[in-house]
Structure 1
Amino acid sequence: MSDFAAPLVPRFLRTPDAAVHLGLSARTLEKHRCYGTGPTYRKLGGRIVYAIDDLNAWAELGRRHSTSDPGQGTVHPARPVRR
């Protein structure tokens, strides 16, 4: 039996850590949440948390291979979306 426990990998990140994960500022991620343009989040009590899989899926929407690649989705800017 091993004396070393497997390291715990977080499943959820709070806003500052989620922003670091995405390379954004926490304020930008808050704006995305308010405008509905950001990744899926959960509200647990009074805390906002993001699943790492949801952060990665949202970031994948912006994946492109070239400037002419239309991609599979759109990551909108952190401002109200006009429809």
Structure 2
Amino acid sequence: MENKFELQKTEKGFLFLPMKGSDTAKFGGIGVCDFCANYAAEGKLIPALNCYYCNDCFERWNRDASYYPEDSNYENRKAQYYLEILNNH
């Protein structure tokens, strides 16, 4: 079975999963950006925050956020959790 979802990393080091809003239904979402509350046909899941952001909000968040390497174990666990759900449904 081919994995449809693959982790990507920002230049700061944050892990994220690009996806369609409809894909969020696999983990109980409805494709609404957790920041601006608008429907996002395409966006990014940020495992460390347990949030789905539209592309605009993701870019703003990534610009302003600080990456803490000591959080990487938590971030990796959350990313694997979401990958398991997304790639097995």
Normalising to structure 1: TM-score of the pair? 0.28
Instruction: Please say which structure displays the higher CA radius of gyration.
Output: 1
Normalising to structure 2: TM-score of the pair? 0.27
Could you say which structure has the higher helix fraction? Answer: 2
